[in-house]
Structure 1
Amino acid sequence: MLILLNTYPLLVSEDLVFRSKETTLQSSVSVMVYSLSGLDRLTEENVAAAMAVVEETGLSRILVTDDAGRVLYDTRETGSAVGEYSFYTEIVQALLGNDAFTSNYSNGAFRSRASSPVLYQNQIIGAVYAYEYDRSQGALLEGLQANLLRLSAIIGAAVLCLSMVLSRALTRKMALLLTAIRQVREGAYSHRAQIKGHDEIAQIGQEFNSLTDRLQTTENARRRFVSDASHELKTPLAAIRLLTDSILQTDNIDRATAREFVSDIGAEAERLSRITEDLLRLTRLDSGVLETPTVVDVLPVLKQVLRMMILVAQEKEIDLTYRAAEGCTVLATKDEIHQIIYNLTDNAVKYSPPHSSVQVTLAREGEQVVLTVEDNGAGIPEEDLPRIFERFYRVDKARSRAAGGTGLGLSIVSDTVKRRGGTVEAGNRPGGGAVFTVRWPWRKEGESL
């Protein structure tokens, strides 16, 4: 931009001066040609007489030649060329019948030359040549150039200062962002990039902080999950080890006691197996490895699960009933539907006291399929409702372990439902007990995916 500022105005100004010189110089030459046009032949005497009546033009030099190029008139007092032959390019062009003009600018001055032929009855009898040396226009152009240079220097200094300020600001912000990235890379997920402003780097810093928040949340969840999983796995393993040590360290252990210990070992091993299966199922859900869904009718799966769960409920003297409507089809897999219904029903039966009831309802409400599981148990404390679907979270840890729960069933239900576009909610019944509600988008049977 500075180069353009220092060249374009000068070139335009030079071009304007050249055009002005051509107009004025050609006009002056035309006046002189007109004063000579009445002569049939040019001589030194009649040319001098004719030029005497021409007004002073301020030109540096005027030459008049005959048709052979011999100088008949010269305004230069010192070193006059009268009587000599002149073959300036402009004079040669004029003697050939052409008007000629040239001009150039150098060393702070404009040098302009113009010539025209002198005609008598359409015959060329001579030529008029004019030369102008103009320093005043050159001085104006030099002044313009000097002003442009000063202006360019001011602009350049301002741009340099502004660039330094912006560069330092950007460098400082980039340094803060890089420091934050290194801190997070080293595992300091609580570190945040403190970048002020509203520019792009500040926006990147905000996005980085949002990403770090998610990383910290994920890392906290991972650590809590690993800790809880380790604790849950360690409990049955410790029980198995304790029971085996008891068998090994007890001399002459009777058969009934040994069978009891082995039975307890089998129960703990079964519990360990359930925890492992639930962990694997959650890992598959987290990795997004899901089977291809189809349109599944929920009712046959519900009947299959309840036929099995009714036997479990009868052992606890719990009345397990259901109400179900036809046409409740959703986009999922049969195994997923089975797992959801089983976990919710099993959870309700486990935590319901004897001689109570569990009600399962399946219905279609508009464009949704709704599954409701209600029990008459102790319910869920209000402060625990927001965390009920967290992994390994238990309202009553001692009671949950005694019931054989792993703390993962509701998490599996929540993740499975959400990955198929549904929702699951937990709440308390007005008359006591808990209620779980699952909602899926209804899909028409036979509908293409």
Structure 2
Amino acid sequence: MERSWQSGRRVPFWRSLQSKFILSYGAIIAALLIFLNIYPILISQNLVFQSKQDSLWRQADIITSTLAGGEGLTAEGVEANLTKLGVTGVDRVMVTDPAGKVLYDTSEVDNAMDHYALLWEVVSALKGNDVFRSEYRDGAFRTRAAAPILYRGMTQGAVYLYEYDKEQAEMLLDFQSNLRNISLVVCAAGLGFSILFSTAVTRRIAALLSGIHTVREGEYSHRVTIGGGDELTRLADEFNELTGRLQTTEEVRRRFVSDASHELKTPLASIRLLTDSILQNDGMDEETVREFVTDIGNEAERLTRITEKLLTLTRMDTAPPRAVGPVDVKQVLLRVEHMLLPLAGAVNVSLHMDLIEGCTVLATEDDLYQIAFNLMENAVKYNLPGGSVFVCLQLRRGKRPGDGDWVVLRVEDTGVGIPEEDLPKIFDRFYRVDKARSRAAGGTGLGLSIVRDTVLQNGGTVEARRREPEGTCFEVCFPRWHGEEEGAE
């Protein structure tokens, strides 16, 4: 028999979890039932043996005390004393003289009167030993006891008692039979329970396997529902959370591929159109050709910018963490300001820098430069003629004790601003508030995504909000590095 999962793979039943559960429970139940069927019977037999030993010893002691005397044993005297004593509860009473000759025997089947007793119990008793032997055989308890008759240290004879008890044997057999019947019922119930339990568990595991197979086939929206509140339920919840993340990641990937394809297709289409126009018009004047070639160069530069930023994002997604060190943020901002002054002058935008000393963070200089350059370049490009860009660097105390200081970089502009409904999306890849204006300014829709990912990789935070009365404000926060102060302490 084989167990097949919905994943398409087949597991032999003898190797399946269900068979292992059944065999495990079956082995445990069998061991318990064997113990319960053997131990009580042995205890009961021992109790019966002990009871019979006590009973026969008492009677043997009474008989030996009665028969012991200075006149010796005679058949008539033994019979008279035992008749007067009235021995009951045993099937055979035998009394011998010191030589082992039988003086008295109550057996009707193999009476040994006037013969020598050849029983080893009698021989041992004549040597001065007390003997007891009991056995369960052929559905009956057979008990024997022998004791010497002693008078002043001399052995005058021996007493032999024999009991054949079938009633207690039948009671023990009934008890054993009842235990066996109960064991069969318990075994059947236990096996049934183990089958139900193992089926329920393996069915839930099969649901998880089926879910994994479905997700592996690309159905990331699939969810598994398993009740119970146990580890399997938690595993299903973790699986659903994982598939949710996979679904989100897949949606982002598809959107990213779609957006990237669209962004790359636009300049490629423009280049193709311009080249076709040049090739199909033999009489095109030189000035027009130069204009078309210039446009082709601009589109090629735009393709270069897009691919470079896509490569940057790919490296950030896959590259291992880089070695970081203390970086003075003020010096990085001054470098960015120096690079952007020509661009700001060309579009008639003024840069206002308000930077304080002592703002050191643990990062890489290239990362901080990229963050600052993207934010300040956007503030210049998407500003209005005659507008301003305000760059502020300051320290901020943490809100809770032990939070430490934060280095805060704030970049504000006096442009048209970003609508409130677009603020949560501006860090998404390829998202643009005004697509036409962004393309005219040479934007790719990837700069702010790079800013966000770089900030997060360095343990910081970034947020965007509207600036009153006009424009946009970006604020980046990094934990301040206290390495020098800590080393001094």
Superposition TM-score, scaled by structure 2 size: 0.87
User: What aligned pairs does 1:283-362 form with structure 2 within 5 A after superposition?
Assistant: 283-362=314-393
Q: Does 1:423 align with 2:461?
A: yes
Superposed, 1:261-276 pairs within 5 Å as 261-276=292-307
1:249 equivalent in structure 2: 280
Shift of 1:288: 4.2
Counterparts in 2 of 1:76 and 1:251: CA distance versus 1, 3 Å: same
Matches within 5 A, 1:200-219: 200-219=231-250
- Partner SS for 2:463: strand
Instruction: Name 1:223's counterpart in structure 2.
Output: 254
Give secondary structure in 2 for the equivalent of 1:131. strand
**CA 1:89 to 1:246, structure 2 compared with 1: closer, same or farther past 3 Å?**
farther
Cα deviations by residue, 1:89-122 (Å, 9 ceiling, x for unpaired): 3323323322222222233322222222221211
Q: Which amino acid aligns with 1:433?
A: G
- Match of residue 151 from structure 2: 120
Change (3 A) 1:375 1:89: farther
Deviation at 1:194, TM superposition (A): 3.1
**What's the CA shift for 1:21?**
1.6
**Alpha-carbon contact 2:59-2:87 (below 8 Å) kept:** no
The residue type equivalent to 2:473 in the other structure is: V
CA contact (8 A) 2:93 2:104 kept: yes
Count of aligned pairs between the two proteins: 448
Structure 1 CA distance for aligned equivalents of residues 321 and 169 of structure 2: 85
Match of 2:435 in 1: 397
**Residue 271 of structure 2 contacts residue 296 of structure 2 at CA under 8 Å; is this kept in 1?**
yes
Contact 1:109-1:135 within 8 A present in 2 as well: yes
Using a 3 Å threshold, how does the CA distance of structure 1 residues 267 and 108 change in structure 2: closer, same or farther?
same
* Farther-moved stretch of structure 1 (306-315 vs 195-204): 195-204
Q: Which letter does structure 1 place at the counterpart of 2:239?
A: F
Work out whether 1:436 is the aligned partner of 2:474: yes
Alpha-carbon deviation of 1:39? 4.3
Q: 1:372 aligns with which of 410, 413, 418?
A: 410
Return closer, same or farther for 1:358/1:39 CA change in 2, 3 Å cut-off: farther
Cα separation, partners in 2 of 1:40 and 1:344, compared to 1, 3 Å: farther
- In structure 2, the gaps of 5 or more residues are 1-31, 398-404
Structure 1 range deviating more: 304-313 or 437-446: 437-446
SS in 2 for 1:29: helix
For 1:141 and 1:279, the matched residues in 2 are separated by 88
State the match for 2:196 in structure 1: 165
Aligned-partner SS, 2:229: coil
Are 1:44 and 2:82 matched, yes or no?
no
Cα deviation code 1:40-97 (max 9, x no counterpart) = 5333233223322323321111222233333222111232012223343332332332
2:141 is paired with a residue of what secondary structure? Answer: strand
Change (3 A) 1:288 1:111: farther
Structure 1 residue ranges, 4+ long, deviating more than 6 angstroms after superposition? none
Alpha-carbon distance in 1 for matches of 2:362, 2:65: 104
What do residues 372-411 of structure 1 show as CA deviations (whole Å, max 9, x unaligned)?
A: 1111112222211222211111112222112111111111
Q: Work out whether residues 68 and 156 of structure 2, in 8 Å CA contact, stay in contact via their aligned partners in 1.
A: no
- The secondary structure found in structure 2 opposite 1:196 is coil
Q: Which amino acid aligns with 2:446?
A: L
> Is residue 382 of structure 1 aligned with residue 420 of structure 2?
yes
Q: Which residue is equivalent to 2:170?
A: 139
**3-state DSSP of counterpart to 1:124:** strand
Write the deviation string for residues 305-341 of structure 1: whole angstroms up to 9, x where unpaired.
1111122111111111111121111111011010111
| Structure 1 segments unaligned to the other structure (5+ residues) | none
Give the secondary structure class of the aligned counterpart of 1:59: coil
Quote the offset at 1:353 in angstroms.
Answer: 0.9
* Alpha-carbon offset, residue 298 of structure 1: 1.2
- The within-5 A match list for 1:19-98 is 19-39=50-70, 41-98=72-129
Output the amino acid matched with 2:459. Answer: G
Query: Could you say what secondary structure the match of 1:53 adopts?
Result: helix
**What's the C-alpha RMSD, in Å, of the aligned pairs?**
1.9
Partners of 1:284 and 1:290 within 8 A in 2: no
SS of residue in 1 equivalent to 2:453: helix
Instruction: Tell me, in whole angstroms, the C-alpha distance in 2 between the residues paired with 1:51 and 1:14.
Output: 31
Aligned-pair CA distance for 1:412: 1.0
Question: What is the CA-CA distance between 1:230 and the residue it aligns to?
Answer: 1.1
Per the alignment, do residues 298 and 55 of structure 1 end up closer, same or farther by CA in structure 2, a change over 3 Å counting? Answer: farther
One-letter amino acid of the counterpart of residue 236, structure 1: P
Kindly, what percent of the aligned residue pairs are identical? 54
Q: Secondary structure at the match of 1:296?
A: strand
Q: Does 1:413 align with 2:444?
A: no
CA distance in 2, matches of 1:40, 1:353: 146
SS at match of 1:431: coil
